[in-house]
Structure 1
């Protein structure tokens, strides 16, 4: 018996990185997984690897019509949605002064409007399933500020707040929580070197599989939690490291 037997899950940004790790783990635990993404070739390869009943769905998360199509087709082929993982996200580098309005809006459309549309569109399906769980992938950039990625920080703080509002709006049928990874080894961090993690209490990159296990915990085990943050960041948000020679 898997921990997600008879569950139907949509995972956005599911073709690679954290999303793919979540899709693999969910499938291994018995869920019927819909991998939703704009990376069609990678998504099709992943669902072929996972086998039936996994399916790939092309989805631009900023499109309301796209969401409606995916939810409708999921219900038709697999049944009502019981888990939604809003993982799709992008980053555009640039400070408040440097970034163009178009670039700022693009990040907000994908990273913040995308999860809102996902929750709005899937909520009726989640209720038809008898209740369910939404996990919004935010970031530690949704808990503190970072220079040079103003739009990303704004979007991830927005996801954190949206999660809390949705948890109240959708209770008691639907739990909504946010997961906040630190620096994880994905395509988004491919150009980062070890200096990005050297000052962390756990001085290494996180792995997508570690985030996936946290998402599974939120869905399957954290049954008395809603509207809250689950952080996995190597300890970076705890505080600055001890100075050399400081008393232990």
Structure 2
């Protein structure tokens, strides 16, 4: 079994990578920066690719090579976890930075869809193929100031729904909301000005009351679900609905 994971250098992605590696599952991590801690602990299981996933030209160029196919060769179960993403730009539409909009759409939508397509072709010999998009409740509910983030996460949800209709052999997919996790992204949200994100106080309260999920516990539950026989029965799911 082998896994491809984006955004493995920090946050939830680092926790997912650690959980997979501790289970003896090989990981090909793709991010702008490497994870030196995991590389030193799992030198034979972790491979890393330095790539800016918001640069669609660079992503397309890398995917045109044979790295994915070589990495997945001989793996009977192949996993793709599209985790990398950003919440910016935050604020009303007229105040959003245009370049940051393009960056967010490239990272949050284009890269996962490009990787999903390339992964499906590269893993064609595998008996069991699974893709999980790390989505968000923001893809299913609207939040003032988060028009770009909500839209990009909703795109992942809809992509998974349509892929299911395509009925690709031996392929299961789910766009999964993991819940509200205590990561750097949450700190970034709490640091946002109220005029940009009017619901900031709700997220401050989650931190203050200890209601944010621990990244390692969330990663354990997420990987449990990814490896479960029932994975993919619903193309869009919320990890919080699955209990502990």
Moved more, 183-192 or 104-113: 183-192
Displacement after TM superposition at 1:20 (Å): 0.9
Displacement after TM superposition at 1:78 (Å): 5.8
Moved more, 134-143 or 79-88: 79-88
Displacement after TM superposition at 1:118 (Å): 0.7
1:14 equivalent in alignment to 2:8: yes
1:33 equivalent in alignment to 2:27: yes
Displacement after TM superposition at 1:77 (Å): 4.9
Q: 2:230 — aligned with what?
A: 223
Equivalence map 1:33-112=2 (5 Å)? 33-40=27-34, 43-61=35-53, 62=56, 63-69=59-65, 72-77=66-71, 79=73, 82-92=78-88, 93-112=90-109
Say what the alpha-carbon RMSD is for the aligned residues.
2.6
Q: Under a length normalisation based on structure 1, what TM-score does the superposition of the two structures give?
A: 0.80
Q: Secondary structure at the match of 1:97?
A: helix
Displacement after TM superposition at 1:54 (Å): 1.2
Provide the C-alpha distance between the structure 2 equivalents of 1:153 and 1:80, rounded to a whole number of angstroms.
Answer: 38
Change (3 A) 1:199 1:103: closer
* Residue correspondences, number: 224
Provide the C-alpha distance between the structure 2 equivalents of 1:101 and 1:48, rounded to a whole number of angstroms.
Answer: 39
The Cα offsets for residues 71-109 of structure 1, whole Å up to 9 and x where unpaired, read as x22443563561000001012122222113322121111
Change (3 A) 1:199 1:90: closer
Q: Could you tell me which runs of 5 or more consecutive residues in structure 1 were left unpaired when the two chains were aligned.
A: 1-6, 236-248
Provide the C-alpha distance between the structure 2 equivalents of 1:160 and 1:39, rounded to a whole number of angstroms.
Answer: 27
Q: Secondary structure at the match of 2:173?
A: strand
